[in-house]
Amino acid sequence: MKSALPIVTVVLAIVAVWYVAAALMNASLQRDLFANAGRADYSTQDLVGASLNMERPKLPAPHQVAAELYKLVFTIPPTSKRSLVYHGFITLEETLIGFAIGSALGIGLAVLIVSMRWLDRSMMPWIVASQTVPIIALAPMIVVILNQFNITGVAPKAAIAAYLSFFPVTVGMVKGFRSPDPLQLDLMRTYSATRAQTFLKLRAPASAPFFFASMKIAAAAALVGAVVAEVTKSEDGGLGARLLAGSYYGQTVQIWAALFAAAALSATLVGAIGFAGRLAQKRMAFP
Amino acid sequence: MTRSGRLGEFLPPLAFGLAVLAIWEAGVRLLHVPAIILPPPSAIATRFATSMPTLAADFRQTIQGVLAGYVMGSLAGFMAAILVDRSQFLQRGLLPIGNLVSALPIVGIAPIMVMWFGFDWPSKAAVVVVMTFFPMLVNTVAGLSVAGAMERDLMKTYGASDWQTLLALRLPVAMPFVFNALKINTTLAMIGAIVAEFFGTPIVGMGFRISTEVGRLQIDMVWATIVVAALTGSLFYALVAGVERRVTFWHASYRAKEA
């Protein structure tokens, strides 16, 4: 843990910069507030103190966001519609369902592409090209189309999360299944292994590092998909809906709290996958 | 590479793409799928052709935010990486945070940026700056550490200063990493600008067009806008990849193809 000290230092520096920025950005707003209240005798200290504790600041101070997070996570019952736990669970559910479907389909397609040459030659260029296209632009439309079929609630958002996580998984897993070098493939041939055996005993295990790398990307992408989908259909709740509600009503502290909740969710998911990856790495001894 | 080899490479995906379009067109017509759910490709093409002025205006609006944010974010990430490179301490502290931030749903800052910088394109550019900064930082720092000990020793025997070593050795070998970030950032910039427009924009822009036309159930117009977004994204990427080929022609991944 020799990097703990540098990380803590950098984090503290970010918090310090944040406080300064908050004071500077909110000061003019607070001056107007003082002027409206007829107060002219405030000191710089008053101004800074008030700027860091405004109700609707341009940039809320870190302690305000922390207090809001604490209030919305711990003091409000998780069943309440104001609780971030409630909205976080909605987002988490959509993300996990979408992530599971998206990665399963992605791995399935990668298997097909690796085993069928014509699929590889005809489809792979499109899948690679899809990585350069802002496919998230499709999100609002998917929600509406599924709505026409009376598919509402979690399903449309999970669908968007799924298709956002689908492409990176396909690309990553095709790379992974192709990672054994010709020497190893030749060895399998000298053992007269069937294609299925080669796949199960060589290609699949060799793809493990790629698997965990793609899962991390897919989880992060699925969460982005879920949050953006919630913005386009905000009446069912979720962290994205909180972002949108906050921006409608100018509740900046609420936006930042929702943002941090989403960040924590993403970091937890990616961290959990990274942890599973390291466990697998120890047992399988891949680099 | 010979001409026929190239053709052989392009033909299968082209055939596949055309087949998908044909099945889509036939399926929509035969099954009488309502146009609000999935318009046939021909309808989308017609709409594309007839709505050129609107689509062009949307494109101009969105691309401003994309390009301004892309240039500023990538440049800032690059400069930060060169500064961070001077200090081991900063590297150890910033890199894990940079990696973490890359996994976060940064598009969520869009509503905040719209509040700070208004509805017009600067707020979109601001979202793009934040989204593109960290991939560039992380990749450039990784790239700067690629130069081997042998090569660095050689620079030292030449009596090269730190800056000379950086300019003559370490930056050139870091270029593949820098371009990797530039390529990732093309997609991120498009995503950032379009999603930010979902949160508020003057009445023009690709993200605005998508969200309003979805509301009006003009799905063919939505598809036409998506075609523009897809073309823009791919061309942007291809442009950066083309420059990369020029700059890092010495890299193994390009030499191997010509051999």
Domains in chain A, number: 2
Q: What is the mean pLDDT of residues B89-111?
A: 82
Same domain, B4 and B96: no
- Cβ contacts of A3 on chain B, cutoff 8 Å: 92-93, 96
Same domain, A266 and A141: yes
Tens of pLDDT, residue by residue over B152-186, are 888 889 988 888 888 888 888 888 889 989 998 99
End-to-end Cα distance, chain A: 21
- The pTM of this model reads 0.84
- Compute the distance between CA of residue B74 and CA of residue A125 in angstroms, rounded to an integer: 27
Q: Tell me whether residue B149 is in a domain.
A: no
| CATH number of the domain bearing residue B59 | 1.10.3720.10
Q: What is the pLDDT of residue B128?
A: 93
Tens of pLDDT, residue by residue over B209-221, are 988 888 888 888 9
Q: How confident is the model at residue B73 (pLDDT cuts 50, 70, 90)?
A: very high
Same domain, A131 and A259: yes
Q: Tell me whether residue A252 is in a domain.
A: yes
Best CA proximity match to A233, nearest among A152, A132, A124? A152
- Compute the distance between CA of residue B210 and CA of residue A136 in angstroms, rounded to an integer: 11
Q: How confident is the model at residue A3 (pLDDT cuts 50, 70, 90)?
A: confident
- Compute the distance between CA of residue A229 and CA of residue A160 in angstroms, rounded to an integer: 7
Whether the CB-CB separation of B78 and B135 falls below 8 Å is answered with no
Q: Tell me whether residue B52 is in a domain.
A: yes
Q: What is the pLDDT of residue B254?
A: 67
Q: Pick from A140, A144, A243: which is nearest to B108 by CB? A: A243
Q: What is the pLDDT of residue B259?
A: 42
- Write phi, then psi, for B145 (nearest 5 degrees): -95, 5
- Compute the distance between CA of residue B24 and CA of residue B68 in angstroms, rounded to an integer: 37
Same domain, B120 and B205: yes
Q: Tell me whether residue B151 is in a domain.
A: no
Q: What is the number of other CB atoms lying within 10 angstroms of the CB of residue B215? A: 12
Same domain, A95 and A221: yes
Residue B258 reports pLDDT greater than 70: no
Per-chain mean pLDDT for chain B = 85
Tens of pLDDT, residue by residue over B49-63, are 998 999 999 999 999
Same domain, A124 and A167: yes
With a pLDDT cut of 70, the percent of chain B lying above it is 94
Instruction: Map tokens 């910088």 to a residue.
Output: B117
The CA-CA-CA angle for residues A177, A179, A185, to 5°, reads 90
Q: What is the pLDDT of residue B252?
A: 67
Its ipTM equals 0.79
| CATH number of the domain bearing residue A184 | 1.10.3720.10
Range of the domain at B3: 1-30
Range of the domain at A33: 4-59
Same domain, B133 and B214: yes
Q: What is the mean pLDDT of residues A156-181?
A: 89
How far does Cα B110 stand from its chain's mean position?
Answer: 17
Domains in chain B, number: 2
Q: Tell me whether residue B152 is in a domain.
A: no
B residues 127-186 near A, CB within 8 Å?
186
Tens of pLDDT, residue by residue over A26-50, are 888 888 888 887 777 777 777 888 8
Mutation for testing the B interface, residue in A7, A131, A132, A165 having most B CBs under 10 Å: A132
Q: Tell me whether residue A30 is in a domain.
A: yes
More confident residue, A262 or A43: A262
Q: How confident is the model at residue A1 (pLDDT cuts 50, 70, 90)?
A: low
- Compute the distance between CA of residue A176 and CA of residue A199 in angstroms, rounded to an integer: 11
Residue A77 reports pLDDT greater than 80: no
Q: What is the mean pLDDT of residues B184-194?
A: 89
Same domain, A22 and A133: no
- Cβ contacts of B12 on chain A, cutoff 8 Å: 118, 121-122
CA distances from B97 to A22, B84, B137 (A): 21, 13, 11
> By CA distance, what is B193's nearest residue in A?
A134
Same domain, B131 and B175: yes
Instruction: Map tokens 């090569």 to a residue.
Output: B151
- Cβ contacts of A132 on chain B, cutoff 8 Å: 186-187, 233-234, 236-238
> By CA distance, what is A143's nearest residue in B?
B214
Contacts of B193 (CB under 8 A, 6+ apart): B62, B65, B66, B69, B124, B125, B127, B128, B206, B207
Tens of pLDDT, residue by residue over A177-222, are 988 888 988 999 999 998 889 999 899 888 888 899 899 989 988 9
CA distances from A125 to A121, A129, B154 (A): 7, 6, 42
Q: How confident is the model at residue A118 (pLDDT cuts 50, 70, 90)?
A: confident
Q: What is the pLDDT of residue B1?
A: 43
Same domain, A55 and A88: no
Residues B188-199 as b/e (b if ≥16 CB within 10 A, e otherwise) read bbbbbbbbbbbb
The single-letter DSSP state of residue A74 is: I
Same domain, A240 and A141: yes
- Compute the distance between CA of residue A251 and CA of residue A256 in angstroms, rounded to an integer: 9
Q: What is the pLDDT of residue B6?
A: 64
Helices (H), chain B: 3-30, 41-50, 52-84, 88-102, 110-117, 121-144, 149-157, 162-165, 171-198, 206-215, 219-247, 252-258
- Cβ contacts of B222 on chain A, cutoff 8 Å: 140-141
Contacts of A226 (CB under 8 A, 6+ apart): A91, A94, A95, A98, A157, A158, A160, A161, A238, A240
Q: How confident is the model at residue B5 (pLDDT cuts 50, 70, 90)?
A: low
